[in-house]
Structure 1
Amino acid sequence: MRKLFLIAAVVTVSACATPKAQIAEGLTGYGVAEGPAKCVGERLQSNLSLGQLRELGRVASATRARDPDPSRLTIDDFLRAASEVRDPQIGIEVAKAAGRCNLVPLGFAPAKYEMDDA
């Protein structure tokens, strides 16, 4: 419960902090290194409108009851919440920000290709 509330707080715009600062602060509070957290915040602020950031926060709040482990935030959780937003650009931008900021989802395993020597 706490995790998705944080996501909502992270992307909710307030007068005292920029969206990128709120996103970065929220992510670092859950163990994301400061550099990647700031990177994600900057990218999302640059590529999403305030309305889109609010929508991401709204959807994250609505999905909090389904969260199996509200005590920690992973990039997987953030990507899952973003994928539930009706605006596809939001999910795309969150995924791009995660990738460009070196946040690899825990469920991601690169494909292994074996070369045939024949």
Structure 2
Amino acid sequence: MRKLFLIAAVFTASACASPKDRIAEGLTGYGVAEAPAQCVGAQLQRSLSLGQLQELGRVASATRARDPDPSRLTIDDFLRAASEVRDPRIAIEVAKAAGRCNLSPLGFAPAKYEMDDA
């Protein structure tokens, strides 16, 4: 009986977690460092509605299920999932949050410019 009570308490606590905390927990569970994960969670909670966050979560879960390595979620995977949502604002806000939180996509390399001294 006590074991059942502890399990219920854990589920109740996670159900009461804020969207920011849930996003951060999900991201850290897939290998994103704690500080950037908290940052992304805060940014998305501020800029998206609960419905938009739920839609992003559904699409991210479906994307992970198709991933050859579903145990690891990269920022590229997260951006790709966001781009699959019908609401374009979600993809924009995810990209902005990644940029503000210093999470560069793995396939992204800033261009190098050579400047003449002349």
Same fold, judged at TM 0.5 (above): yes
Runs of 4+ in 1 over 4 A off after TM superposition: none
Structure 1 unpaired stretches of 5+: 1-13
The equivalent residue for 2:91 is: 91
The equivalent residue for 1:59 is: 59
User: 1:61: Cα distance to partner?
Assistant: 2.9
Q: CA RMSD in A?
A: 1.6
Change (3 A) 1:64 1:72: closer
The equivalent residue for 1:19 is: 19
User: More deviation in 15-24 or 66-75?
Assistant: 66-75
CA deviations 1:86-115 (Å, max 9, x no partner) are 100000000000000011111100011222
Secondary structure of residue in 2 paired with 1:110: coil
State the structure with more CA Rg. Answer: 2
The equivalent residue for 1:82 is: 82
One-letter code aligned to 1:96 = K
Q: Separation in 2 of the partners of 1:51 and 1:78?
A: 17
TM-score, normalised by the number of residues in structure 1: 0.81
Whose relative contact order is higher, 1 or 2, with alpha carbons under 8 Å and at least 6 apart? 1
Q: Do 2:64 and 2:73's aligned partners in 1 also have CA atoms closer than 8 Å?
A: no
Structure 2 unpaired stretches of 5+: 1-13
TM-score, normalised by the number of residues in structure 2: 0.81
Q: Percent identity?
A: 88
User: 1:64: Cα distance to partner?
Assistant: 3.4
